[in-house]
Each structure stands twice: as structure tokens, then as C-alpha cells.
Chain A
Amino acid sequence: MRRKIESLLIEFAKIHRFFMRFLRELVSPPYELKEIIRQCYEIGWKSFPLISLTGFIVGFVFTKQSRPSLEEFGATSMLPALISIAIVRALAPLVTALIASGKVGSQIGAELSSMNVTEQIDAMEVSGTNPTKFLIVSRIIATTTMIPVLCFYVAGIGLLGGYLSIAAKDDITMLSFFNQVFESIAVKDVFAMVIRAVVFGFTIGFSSCYVGYNSSKGTEGVGKAANTAVVSSMFLVFIEELLIVQVLSFF
């Protein structure tokens, strides 16, 4: 038991040191702009097909599943308002974060870990390059900026899925659907969505980079790092969602 607590405390100290190192390299020049843009492309653009499909399905299925409950009260006209609140306040950031945890988290974890195993990170270090700046800062900036962008996109595509689900049964135009959507959501809902997405984006980037960069040597370490990156990212996203909901309820 004592040994477990000790190793837990050591792990926390390592995470703290990693975070401080990230902050130091974040603000100190030179900046790796080219690598940041490349990572934004890898993380943002290459996630679009998967995110599109998932966002659409979530909007469509959620609307379809919500219809029977509202039908009981003759309130199906409330469907656009219901799905807009659900998607903007909760589903869009959460779905984006979970998909990104799987796709981006595993990619970062495995890539950094395999670079670690094959001594590519050491090679960077000995050639006078700062691997924290090049590999870590660029990836964390990319996830923190791209996941909010993806989140807006998921909200839009999810609402489109919701519209198609409603339009399949009811006579509703896209214009009147989106009118009702925008009437139901307030600026603070969009603001809360952005906050969530930024926090989730940072968490996915940071935890995946930490796991990959500090992975154990050997091929087993690569698989383990990819797996741990996904699991830890998803776990932290849920914990943060719980905390953010509590904090935002005060406003």
C-alpha cells in the first residue's frame, strides 16, 4: 500500500514537471509554427470524415429517440429546441472529445512512444533540437485549437442530422428549424461549449503526449502507450465534464 502511494506521488510529481516544462517552452522562442500548422492539419482536417459521420448519427438518432417522449404530450414542435440545447450544451463537445480521444489520442500516444523506443527523441535532443517544443508544444496547441473547431462542426452536422430526422416525419423547412434552434440557445451556451472544447482539447493533447513521451521502452510500450492515451483521455474528459457542469451551473 505504502509503495503504491509512493509511486502515485512520484507520478504526480512527474506530471507536474512535464506541465511546467510545457509552459516554459510554450512561451519561449523560437516557435515551431510550421510544425504547429502540420499538426493542426493532421489532427483537425484528417478527423473530419469520422467526426462528420459520428456527429450526423448522434443528431439523427438523438432526435429519433426523443420524439416518442414528446409525442406523448403532443409537444413534438419542441424537438428543435430540445435537440439544439442538448447538442450545444452537452453532446457536441462530449462527442468530439470522445472521438478525438480515440483517434487523436491513440495516434499521438503511439507516435511519440515509437519515437521514444527507436531513440528518435534522443536523436532530436543530441542534434540540438528541443523535443519538448517540437513534439509536445506543437501537438498540445493543435489539439487545444482544433477540437473547438471540430466541436462547432459537430454541432452543425448534428443539428443537420436532427433536422433530417424531424423532416422525415413532419412538414418543416430548414429555415424554420434553424430559427427555432437559434431562439433556444443563448450566447452563454455557445460560450460554455467553447470552454468545454478547449479544456477537452488541452486534456487530450497533454495526457496523450505525456503517456507517449514517457512510455517504457520496447514494442509492448508502444501498444500500452496508445491504449493508456485513449483510456486516460476519455476518463479525464468525463471527470472534467462533471466539474464544468457544476461550475457553469452557478452562472
Chain B
Amino acid sequence: MEKEARNINYEDVVINVDKVSKSFGDLHILRDVELNLYNKENLVVLGRSGTGKSVLIKLISGLLKPDHGDIKVLGELVNKLDERELRALRQRIGFSFQNSALYDSMTVRENLEFPLVRNKRNLTRAEINKEVEEVLDGVGLSQAINQMPSELSGGQRKRIGIARTLILRPDIMLYDEPTAGLDPITCLDINSLINEVQERYKTSSIIITHDLACAKMVGDRMVMLLGGKFERQGTFEQIFDTEDERVKPFYDYNFIV
């Protein structure tokens, strides 16, 4: 189930996080964090709850602003863009939320149409329908098109959430805890879907998780956030080849050693 090694060009940086710090009041979440995401790479960010993993991808997508440092996404400085420029950039970034964040007053079809009709206003009804059906077929949920989010299972909601982000054909995917709260079989399905998305849409992705099976299955490279900094990075084996008491319990718990 481990991911096959792929050829990634480590010169082609799509996200560059440069000495970024973020605090909430007296709580210092990220301290001078540095990170690169390379083109067509799946980067897994590991770390305990509350260490700032989700904060990091919210900073990358411009939902939060850093206290210090710069974040460059696809060549644009996110923290220096005005609202209109940021909105244009966000069309190239897909964000899959931990709880899927489906619009619960809309059907699956309306959820998928929502970003499309607002960002590509000249599309015809037939073109919209074609896009929706195609992306829904891609996540294997064509039959759910007229269902409400409340009628879907947790795994289905995740898939629809991913489909909604894919409809704008993003260059970058940000996954926030994609397997949280799911049973092992559904986790495997979601992990396969993340790899399929990467292959089909040629996306570069950051996957936030503390599920090591997920990390091993989807990640080309991993980084571990400890005390507001990326202390360890490399392949799965490199990350866990340590006696560091802050790292070992992750492995021990996930693989019940």
C-alpha cells in the first residue's frame, strides 16, 4: 500500500513558505516555519492536534494572514494580494475541509455547481451539467447527484467535498485531515482517491493528517510539525527512524507496536 516513488522535479516550487510565524493571542502556533511544495508532489504534514497543521493550510489559502514571513503560491505572494487577486488565485487552489463543509441547504448537484457558476459565468447549462457529471463520476458518486448532504455517509461527504474542489480544475490541492472520523475501509478508498486525483488532474497536494497509514499511502515526502517548527522531514522511514520521544508514539500508536 506504500506509494510508488515518482519522479518529481525539485526545482519547480509551487508553494514556498518563508519564515512564517502565526500566533493567536499569547499562543505561538507557528514559529519561523519554512516549507516548499514541488510541482506534482504529494506532501504530508504530520503533527499532533493543535500544533498548527490546519493553520498552515489556512495561511496558504489566504484564510488567515501570517504575523511574519511570506507565502508564495504559484508565484504570487498570498499575504500581499488584495481580495480580488486572492479570489482569482483561490480558483487554482482546491481546499478539502476536515468536515467536508458541504452547503447543507443545497443538493449535491447544487454544491458542485456553486463554485463553477460563480467563477465561470459564461458557461451554458449543458456545459455546467457536463462538468458536474464528469467530476462526480471521477469520485464514483454519480448516483448521489440529487441527494442532500444530510443523506450521505461520512465517506461520501468527503468524496463530494473533494469533487467540489476539483470542479475548478485546481493546480494545488490542500487536504485537511481527509481520513478523520472514517472507518479503515473508507480511509483506504479516500487515500486511493487522493492518489487518483493527483494522477488524473496532475495536482500538487498538501495532506494534513495524523493517520500514518494515509501518510504512507499518499505521501511522496513528509514533514513533521513539532513545537511550531518542522523538525523532521523526508520519507516515511526517515521520519520515524528516530528515538525522539515526541515522534515515536505516533508510530507506536498507529501501528500498535
Q: Which residues of A contact B (CB under 8 A)?
A: 30, 111, 115, 118-120, 122-130, 134
Contacts and interface: CB of A to CB of B under 8 A. Distances in A.
B153 to A, nearest CB: 17
Given A118-B101, A122-B63, A125-B63, 15 more contacts: A111-B105, A119-B97, A120-B101, A120-B104, A123-B95, A124-B114, A126-B63, A126-B95, A127-B114, A127-B164, A127-B165, A128-B90, A128-B168, A129-B115, A129-B119
Contacts of A124: 114
Given A30-B121, A118-B104, A126 B99 contact: no
Interface string B84-101: 000110110101011101
14 contacts: A118-B101, A119-B101, A120-B102, A120-B104, A122-B58, A123-B101, A126-B95, A127-B114, A127-B164, A127-B168, A128-B88, A128-B118, A128-B168, A129-B87
A127 B87 CA distance: 8
Contacts of B61: 126
A127 B104 contact: no
Contacts of A123: 95, 97, 101-103, 164
Nearest to A28: B84
In this complex, the interface size class of chain B, counting residues with CB under 8 Å from chain A, is 20 to 34
A130 B103 CA distance: 15
A127 B63 contact: no
B97 A127 contact: no
B104 A126 contact: no
Nearest to B97: A119
Nearest to B98: A119
Interface string B151-191: 00000000000001100100000000000000000000000
B114 A129 contact: yes
A115 B106 CA distance: 12
Interface of B: 58, 61, 63, 83, 87-88, 90-91, 93, 95, 97-99, 101-105, 114-115, 118-119, 121, 164-165, 168
Nearest to B63: A122
6 smallest A-B Cβ distances: which pairs?
A: A127-B115, A123-B101, A126-B95, A119-B101, A128-B91, A129-B118
A156 B91 CA distance: 50
Nearest to B164: A127
A125 B101 contact: no
| Interface-centre pick from A118, A124, A134 (highest chain B CB count, 10 A) | A118
B97 A122 contact: yes
Contacts of B114: 124, 127, 129
Nearest to B106: A120
B63 A128 contact: no
B19 to A, nearest CB: 24
A30 B95 CA distance: 24
A118 B98 CA distance: 10
B115 A128 contact: yes
A129 B58 CA distance: 16
B247 to A, nearest CB: 29
A126 B121 contact: no
Contacts of A119: 97-99, 101
Contact of A118 (B99, B115, B164, B168): B99
Nearest to B120: A128
Given A122-B63, A123-B95, A128 B119 contact: yes
B83 to A, nearest CB: 8
Contacts of B102: 120, 123
Contacts of B121: 30
A166 B201 CA distance: 74
A30 B119 CA distance: 11
A120 B103 contact: yes
Contacts of B63: 122, 125-126
A126 B64 CA distance: 11
Nearest to A125: B63
A167 to B, nearest CB: 45
